[in-house]
Amino acid sequence: MIKPHGSDELNPLFIQDANARAQRVASARELPSVLVSSASAANAVMLGCGYFNPLTGYMNKADALAVAQSMRTGEGLFWPTPVLNLVPSAAAITPGQPIALTDPNVEGHPPLAIQRVDAVETFSGEELAYITAQVFGTQDSAHPGVANFNAQGNVCISGPIEVLNYSYFETDFPDTFRTAVAIREAIAARGWHKVVAFQTRNPMHRAHEELCRMAMERLGCDGLVIHMLLGKLKQGDVPAEVRDAAIRKMVELYFPANSGMVTGYGFDMLYAGPREAVLHAIFRQNMGATHFIIGRDHAGVGDYYGAFDAQSIFDSIPAGTLEIEIFKADHTAWSKKLNKVVMMREAPDHEKDDFVLLSGTAVREMLSHGIAPPKEFSRPEVAQILIGYYKNL
């Protein structure tokens, strides 16, 4: 199986032994505590799951700035986005002490992780602006990722962590949430050797389904892992439980047995476009995928990124940096001429009117009025699930 990023073996930071974990939970309740942001909590979950391999905790200020500048830590590890525990203030926290990180997303704010504090440092306004410009490609506060990043605070608590639980993800999505360790085990159990991963934060329409099928066929893959984001999204995005139901129905009805695996991971969307596309590739290498689909405007939002920026960034990464291979896809749509879904760049004789194209706004309007989009755009069973969601808004 493909090696994880940056090491020979996966290094999840979750305490596996139940007795040891119970003892650490008890000790965490006696430690000084910090209520972290949702973003920092999601970082802890990803560290616990092994998706952030080989990181051992939260970055310090120097590493965060180095990653923003060159996608490398001070020690040279390739990493595209800072992984930080940012807080508004840490006056009572001193280096060398252990602290409990408490969960902002679970009632009662239970301990999520224990962090050994290596340093407490403050970012200047100029440094935070530099990070946002480099990572998000903008400093515009209207960008949801920039807004979320800047809302966390400017004090950085760095150091290694031990993860005590997976926040709300394991309980809210028991059939879908999976660690990188668990997905590797599932891939091995299914006998898959060549595996393509598909990232989504949206329901999958017919074009997404066919894109996955194209990638599997062209790459000669044994299996597909549909890997959906289960964390916080911007306002207006479809909730994870609705996406989960819709995607599961599609795979159940339209994919052969043992060809598709529906899973999810506990992370808050960054909307960082090209940088986040690279981060997504690392997630998928760590969970055992050999290939990863990158389509148009991957992880983008608004008009902040070019249509293929999330693909071209991989051309600037030195060979051998990542073992996972990227399947670069164009926009896919139903061709009225060919009576099937095609990549638009592979149909040069087509005009725009030769495709079934619907904007997100138009689709939401149809669904909210109980109207299913054309079968060429969305599977009817998927549309009914989405209609049920929109009519209750």
Pick the catalytic residue: 201, 206, 275, 379? 201
State yes or no: is 201 an active-site residue: yes
State yes or no: is 202 an active-site residue: yes
Pick the catalytic residue: 202, 213, 248, 364? 202
Burial of 118 (0-12, 13-18, 19+ CB in 10 A): middle
Indicate which residues carry an active-site annotation.
201-202
